[in-house]
Amino acid sequence: MYDVMIIGAGVSGSACARELARYKLNICVVERAEDVCCGTSKANSAIAHAGFDADQGSLMAKLNVQGNKMMEELSKELDFEFIRNGSLVVCTREEDRRNLQALLENGIANGVEGLRIVEREELLAMEPNISDEAVAALYAPTGGILCPFGLNIALAENACVNGVEFKFDTEVLNIEKTDGGWKLVTDNGDYETKVVVNAAGVYADKFHNMVSNDKMTIVARRGDYYLLDKTAGKHVSRTIFTLPNEFGKGVLVSPTVHGNLIVGPTANDIDDKEGTNTTRAELDEVTVKSAVNVKNVPLRQVITSFAGLRAHELGHEFHIRELPEAPGFVDCAGIESPGLTSSPAIGCMVADIVSGILKPEKNPDFVGSRKGIVRPSEMSLEERNELIKKEPAYGNIICRCEMITEGEILDAIRRPLGAKSLDGVKRRTRAGMGRCQAGFCSPRTMEILSRELHIDMSQVTKSGGESRLIVGTNKDRI
Ligand SMILES: Cc1cc2nc3c(=O)[nH]c(=O)nc-3n(C[C@H](O)[C@H](O)[C@H](O)COP(=O)(O)OP(=O)(O)OC[C@H]3O[C@@H](n4cnc5c(N)ncnc54)[C@H](O)[C@@H]3O)c2cc1C
């Protein structure tokens, strides 16, 4: 019998797990994928939104602003990449100025600090590649960019070292009421728990509707992106937004924390909750819309495209509460954008709700800090040489584009909740995220995975399950 079972190891579930680890509780996270950060948390704009556009008085607005404020300290505590680069919402038509003003007022009411309107001249000085049509912009100095994998993995790793159990490749199929709480029926056995936290992303409505008559609908709202090479990373230095509309924040152009340029997303409601494919039509829309605010976006430098699914709840609000009709069942649902930004605050809110139910003691052994993977490419030559003398694997470059060493990949595999697949290594180290998109390093990373996990090369997968990369090996042919 667990005290708490959390469905989903995305950024929401992982943030909840980490905050709940501050208490003496027996906690388990169940995740249908092979790793953390396999759902929406791995495919988004990676912006720490300032919080000016969420509706005044909404939970979304409150948690966005709180999460944004927490992000800087958290990034130091858990060692993931975060830069407060600021953001600009660009207005290209005089008649839209009143919308910009309304956004400013909404942001001030939401408690966003430092907001102001900048006029064209100042805007051009800030961002020389801004569109010739731009008349003014809303500047939010608290806006930021972060590594979404880094945040999600750091939260989960820290929860794990503080005693939270993670069950991967475990899909929750059904939820049943028991005398002491709930039974989770999974494809990997049944588990009993006093409290359930429903952090299942686009599938959170399915679990909510199993225990409640007050039905919820979550629609998958797809967003397509282009990711550009680092040669394009300085095209803008702040995150450039369009004025938001009923479909959200529109197409943005932004640097990433790793020095690339990200352009997107679209917003298209689809029926398939697994539909993370990009489409020609949506990518063309990205091309057209990105040119409205930023000129000469160097789209010839595209290195990859991808799509993510927003868990769009019809009322466009976060649903975080214990259901009165299902005591011990806590929804963490409808976590669409700004869910990444809000995640630290979401974790705190869910921990408050759960500790209110179970009244646990504090965990005196909780360790809040965590050190990420050592990065030789960020060291001075002297430091790097010292490291290589001690650990020669840090002198063996595996991914040439991102300059990732064997030492980093070994660390990614060996650390708590370590990588088990090519994508797991990629999200932890960036091996395969560069210009050649893993063309060169895949076989070399596979060899390391095979060696470290004591599995045959033919068993190494891209992302768990049946996603094996090769059929048979030389050994089989002999
Ligand atoms: C296009 C796009 C752009 C975005 N941009 C931003 C942004 O710039 N800034 C920002 O703050 N937010 C942004 N977001 C929102 C943010 O990415 C999400 O709010 C956040 O990642 C949601 O995290 P989650 O943990 O709730 O969901 P997920 O990351 O989807 O995690 C849910 C997990 O539950 C698991 N699961 C589902 N069903 C089951 C089951 N039956 N059994 C076991 N496990 C299950 C899934 O495998 C998954 O790992 C964006 C989203 C999209 C799609």
* Cβ neighbour number for residue 414 with a 10 Å cutoff: 10
State which of 340, 349, 423 you would mutate to test the pocket of ligand 1, scoring each by most atoms of that ligand within 8 A of its C-beta: 340
Residue with tokens 């991967």: 168
Q: Which 3 state secondary structure label does DSSP give 404? A: strand
Instruction: Assess whether the C-beta atom of 345 lies below 6 angstroms from ligand 1.
Output: no
Q: How far is CA 325 from CA 199, 260, 382, in A?
A: 18, 47, 62
Give the pTM. 0.97
Q: Indicate if ligand 1 lies below 6 Å from the C-beta of 156.
A: no
Low-confidence ranges of the chain (pLDDT < 50): none
Taking the centre of ligand 1 as the mean of its atom positions, its distance from the CA of residue 419, in whole angstroms, is: 19
Rounded Cα–Cα distance for residues 354 and 2 (Å): 13
Best mutation site among 44, 155, 309 for ligand 1 pocket (most ligand atoms within 8 Å of CB):
44
What is the enclosing helix (H) or strand (E) of 27? strand 27-30
CB distance 45 to ligand 1 below 6 Å: yes
pLDDT at res. 477: 61
β-pair partners for 218 = 313
pLDDT score, position 244: 80
Please, what are the domains in the chain? Answer: 81-144+219-311 (3.30.9.10), 376-469 (1.10.10)
Residue of 168, 337, 342 with the most ligand 1 atoms within 8 Å of its CB, for mutation: 337
Tens-digit pLDDT profile for residues 94-147: 999 999 999 999 999 999 999 999 999 999 999 999 999 999 999 999 999 999
Q: Quick one: which atom of ligand 1 is closest to the CA of 171? A: 42
Peptide bond into 265 cis (omega under 30): yes
CB 8 within 8 A of CB 39: yes
> Ligand 1: does its nearest atom lie under 6 Å from the Cβ of 276?
no
Residue nearest atom 25 of ligand 1, based on CA coordinates: 10
| Both tokens assigned to 381 | 């030559």
pLDDT on residue 476 = 63
Integer Cα distance of 264 and 286 in angstroms? 6
DSSP letters along 32-59, please?
Answer: SSSSSS-SGGGSS--EE--SSSSPTT-H
Tokens of 289: 């819309």
Enter the DSSP assignment of 376.
G
The pLDDT of residue 246 is 65
The backbone torsions φ and ψ at residue 252, rounded to the nearest 5 degrees and listed phi first, read -115, 160
Q: What is the pLDDT of residue 475?
A: 65
Q: CA 79, CA 99: separation in Å to the nearest integer? A: 38
According to DSSP, the residues that pair with 187 across neighbouring strands are 189
Q: How far is the CA of 38 from the centre of ligand 1 (A)?
A: 8
Q: Is the CB of 309 under 6 A from ligand 1?
A: yes
What pLDDT is attached to residue 86? 98
CB-ligand 1 contact for 17 (6 Å cutoff): no
Closest among 4, 41, 73 to 351, alpha carbons compared: 4
CA 224–ligand 1 middle distance (angstroms): 15
How does pLDDT run across 85-105, given as a tens digit for each residue? Answer: 999 999 999 999 999 999 999
Catalytic residues: 49
Both tokens of 232, joined, read 């394009």
